[in-house]
Structure 1
Amino acid sequence: MTAESQIRREASVEAGWRQVARFGDALTTGADLVNAAERAVMAALEQLEGSAPASAEGGGADLLCFFVCGADPEEVTLAGKRVMALAGDAVTLGCSSTGVIGGGRGVEGQGAVSVWCASLPDVEITPFRLDTVIEGDHLAVVGMREPGPRDRAAILLANPYEFPTQAFVRESTDALHGLPVVGGMADGLRGEESVRLFVDGDVAENGAIGVLVGGDGVLGTVVSQGCRPIGPSMTVTKAEGNLLVELAGTNAYEKLEELVDGLSEEDRELAAQGLHIGIAMDEYADHHEQGDFLIRSLSGADPEIGALTIGDMVEVGQTVRFQVRDAGTADEDLARRLASFGTDRSVGAGLLFSCNGRGTALFPRSDHDVLAVRRILGVDAVAGLFAAGEIGPVSGVNHVHEFTACLLAFSR
C-alpha cells in the first residue's frame, strides 16, 4: 500500500467514515489482449467505486489481482503491464495462464483477461518476490520475510518450470509458523516460454511472487480435492520414497488388482480413467472417510516388483486408501466444503485457484467452480485462474495439489 492510500484511509477514519471492504471483478475476451486488459480493469474498478459510500472520496483499490491468457507471450506481457498501469495505488499481483476465471464464468484456451480488485480497510498487504540462490550443495529460496502476528495468509503464484514450488510449499508450514499459503502455478498457451509473473509494477519470467495479507478481513481458505474413497483403508508396510511396495503386508500391485476386481462397473471405469491414492492426515482417527486424506496421483504400477508409484513420499505405518474422481463427486465435495466454510462467516469475495483439469476436462462447462462459490457463499466478486498446480492447506499443512479448487476468502 502506498503512503498516499494510507493517508487517505487515516483521513477517512478521522472524519468518522465507516470503512467497509469493497470488491469488484471482471472478465473480458478478445484477440487484442491490451484492449481486453483495459476493459477488464476499468470494469472491475468501476464496481469498486460504485459500491463506495457517498462520503468516502477517493478510496480506490488496495489489492488488484489479474490473470491473462493469450497465444503470444509478448502480448500477455503488454496486457499485464497495462493492467498494472491502470491500477492506481493498488498492490498488483498477476500471472499468465491457460485459462481465467471471473465475472461468473471461466474461459479456457483463448485470449482473455480476468481482474479482481478490493478495497480492504482491515487488511495489511505486503508484496514479495522469491528467487533461488545456491548455498553450498543446495538451492535456497530468498525473498520471504517472517510473517507478523497479524498475517493471515500468503498468496503465491509460481513458475512451475524452474521454481522449486513443491519443495518450498512442503517446507513453508514450518518455516512460516503455520501460515496458510494459497495460490497456483502459472502457465501459458506455449508452455514454459510463455510464463509471465506480475507484481507491483514489475514483470518476471522466473521465480515466484505473492503477497502477504493480514488482519481480520482475511477469513481463510477452502480446499476441495474432489475425490471419494474406494476399497478399505490400508497400512503401508513397506515403502521406498514414492514407491508403495507393500500394503497390509501384501504386494501393493496385487492389492490394487484385488481392489479393481471387486469394484462396480462404474467405479472400474473411473479407475481406468485415473486412479488416485489418499494419504490419511490423522493417523489416530478411528475411521478415514472422504475428506480425511491428502490426495495424490497414482502414476505407475510395476507388476515385476509389485510396486506402485505415487505423487508423494510415503512412510511405513501411514494409512492410505485408493480414490476415484468424477464430476459428480467433485461437485458434491466442493459444495459440502463451501457450505461448511460459509457457516457463521460473512464472506465478501474470494480468489479462486482451480486446476486446469477441472474445467471442461471434468465438467460440462468451464464455469462450474466459480458459479458454485458464488451461489453457495452468496458472493459476486470471485476471480482467479485455471492453474497448472494449486496450492492450499489440508489439515493445517500447505501442499501443492492436482485437480483441486482452492479458495482464499475475504470478509465483507
Structure 2
Amino acid sequence: MARFGDALTTGADLVNAAERAVMGALEQLGGAAPGDGRGGAGGAVDLVCFFVSGADPDEVTLAGRRVMELVPGAVALGCSSTGVIGGGRGVEGQGAVSVWCARLPGVELTPFQLDTVLEEDHLAVVGMREPGPLDRVAILLANPYEFPTQAFVRESTPALGGLPLVGGMADGLRGEESVRLFCDGDVVDSGAIGVLVGGEGVLGTVVSQGCRPIGPNMTVTKAEGNLLLELAGTNAYEKLEGLLDSLGEEDRELAAQGLHVGIAIDEYAEKHEQGDFLIRALAGVDPDMGALAVGDMVEVGQTVRFQVRDAGTADEDLARRLADFGAEHEVGAGLLFSCNGRGGALFPQADHDVLAVRRILGVDAVAGFFAAGEIGPVGGVNHVHGFTACLLAFAD
C-alpha cells in the first residue's frame, strides 16, 4: 500500500477544490484515515502539507480550514501562494489547491509556530522547539512581509545544531494582505510555521540554484558589509565592466537580464566550478564608489565569480543534482519549493521542475508551491534563496 499521495485541483470554488484535493490524495493511500498526528500511526495519515492559491484571501482561508478539518489528528501544515505544485503539474495565478499526505511509521512530527517579540533594542524569535537527537529536518513556511526570515535562517544553522531547514516564503495573489499560514488547525497571517521531522524517513535535500559561472574566479580584497569594493586588487566596478566587455553576445544579453554573484561554498576546494557557489543577486552598482552591492554579506578573502541564469542552465543543473541524489537514494516522495521566478517565467511551462523530479527520481507524490523565496541548505548551512528549486526527499 502506498505511503504517500498527492493531488492538485483547480476551480473558482476553493473550498470545493480543497475537498477534492484531500480526497484525491487520500485515495492514493487506500482511503487512509487520519493518524494520531505525531507519526508512528501505521496505516493512518500522519503528515499533510497543502498549498492554496486564490484571488480572495477569505476564500483561501476557508479552503485551508477545510483541508485541516478533513484530516483531524494528522499534523497539517500549509500556506497561501501565487501558484501550487502537485499531481505532476504546476499551476500559477489562478484558484488551485495542492495536497500532499504521508503515512510515516516510526517518524516523529513536532509542529511549531514562530513569532517575534521586542527585546530591548532588537527583535527575538520565539516558539522554536529545540531539536531532539532523532530530528532530521525542519520544514519551514514563513510570511516574508512579517517575519525576519533572512536573519532567522542565517542564524539557524549554529543555533539548531546544524539541523537543515527546508521550505519557502508564502505569498498571495494580493501580496501582503493575502498571506495565510496554516498549522495544526490554526490560521495565522504573520510569523512562521513549521514541523520538526525525526526518524529514518527523511533522505535529505536537493537544492538547485540553476546558474553557471562566467569570467574568472576572483578573491575579494576589499569589502564592507554587502558591498564589494575590490576584486583581485582592482576596483570592483571596473572588474565588472571589463568582464561585460569580454562576453559574447548571448552571455551579455543574459547578464543584462540579471547578473548574479557566486560566493564559494568551500574556500579550500582546489577548484570552484558550476555548483560550487552560493548564488546571490547583484543588487546594484555605484560607479563613483567603484562598488557592487550583493544580496548577502561578503568578506575579504572569499572567492567570488559572476554568474548568469537561463532556462537551459537551470534545467541542466536541476537534472544533474537530481540524478546524483537518485544514484544514492531510493526516493518515495518529495516536497518541492520552487521560486515564483521559475515556472512559466523561466521555462516554456510551469510544470518543469515537478516533471523533472518525477521523471529523474521515479516518484509520483511530489507537491509544493511557487515561493517568494526558497529555504534550503547549501554546503551544510541554511540559506534563503531566489530562483531556486529546493526538494525535501522522503524514503520509499
Structure 2 equivalent of residue 40 of structure 1: 21
Q: Among residues 280, 291, 306, which one is paired with 1:307 in the alignment?
A: 291
In structure 2, what is the equivalent of residue 272 of structure 1? 256
Q: By how many angstroms is 1:388 displaced?
A: 0.1
Structure 1 CA distance for aligned equivalents of residues 321 and 98 of structure 2: 25
Contact 1:197/1:209 (8 A) holds in 2? yes
Structure 2 letter corresponding to 1:282: D
CA distance in 2, matches of 1:288, 1:260: 20
SS of structure 2 residue aligned to 1:256: helix
Q: In 2, are the aligned partners of 1:60 and 1:88 still within 8 Å (CA)?
A: no
Superposition map of 1:55-204 within 5 A:
59-204=43-188
Describe the superposition over 1:117-167 as per-residue Cα deviations: whole angstroms up to 9, x where unpaired: 000013111100001111121111111111111100000000000100000
Distance 1:374 1:61 in 2: 22
Q: Which residue of structure 2 aligns with residue 359 of structure 1?
A: 343
Other structure's SS at 2:344 match: coil
Q: Is the 8 A contact 1:226 1:333 kept in 2?
A: yes
TM-score, with structure 2 as normaliser: 0.97
Stretch deviating more after TM superposition (70-79 or 301-310) = 301-310
Deviation at 1:50, TM superposition (A): 5.7
Deviation at 1:344, TM superposition (A): 3.0
What amino acid does structure 1 have at the position aligned with 2:327?
T
Q: Compute the displacement of 1:48 (Å).
A: 1.1
The Cα shift of 1:390 comes to 0.2
Please name the residue that 1:388 is paired with.
372
Q: Which residue pairs with 2:211 in the alignment?
A: 227
Secondary structure at 1:279's aligned position in 2?
A: strand
Structure 1, unaligned runs of 5 or more: 1-19
In structure 2, what is the equivalent of residue 216 of structure 1? 200
CA distance in 2, matches of 1:48, 1:241: 51
Residues 279-298 of structure 1 mapped to structure 2, 5 A cutoff: 279-298=263-282
Aligned CA distance change for structure 1 residues 336 and 173 (closer, same or farther; 3 Å): same
Q: Secondary structure at the match of 2:345?
A: coil
> Structure 2: which 5+ residue stretches go unaligned?
34-40
Q: Which residue in the other structure is 2:227 paired with? A: 243
Partner of 2:3: 22
1:193 & 1:130 partners in 2: Cα distance? 19
* C-alpha distance in structure 1 between counterparts of 2:316 and 2:42, whole Å: 42
8 Å CA contact 2:42, 2:103 repeated in 1: no
Partner of 1:324: 308
Q: Is 1:49 aligned with 2:30?
A: yes
Task: Tell me the matched-pair count.
Answer: 389
Instruction: Identify the range of structure 1 (390-399 vs 115-124) with the bigger mean alpha-carbon deviation.
Output: 115-124
Structure 1 runs, 4 residues or longer, greater than 6 Å off: none
Letter of the 2:123 partner, please give it.
L
Per the TM alignment, residue 295 of structure 1 is displaced from its structure 2 partner at its CA by 0.1
RMSD: 1.3
**C-alpha separation in 1, matches of 2:240 and 2:165:** 34
CA contact (8 A) 1:61 1:88 kept: no
Tell me, in whole angstroms, the C-alpha distance in 1 between the residues paired with 2:154 and 2:314.
25
Instruction: Using the TM superposition, give the Cα deviation of residue 304 of structure 1 relative to its aligned residue in structure 2, in angstroms.
Output: 1.1
Q: CA deviation at 1:89?
A: 2.1
CA distance in 1, matches of 2:274, 2:85: 27
Q: Report the Cα distance in structure 1 between the residues aligned to 2:56 and 2:390, rounded to whole angstroms.
A: 28
Report percent identity of matched pairs. 84
* TM alignment of 1:333-352, pairs within 5 A: 333-352=317-336
Structure 2 SS opposite 1:48: coil
Measure the CA separation in 1 of the matches of 2:130 and 2:16: 39
Deviation at 1:88, TM superposition (A): 3.0
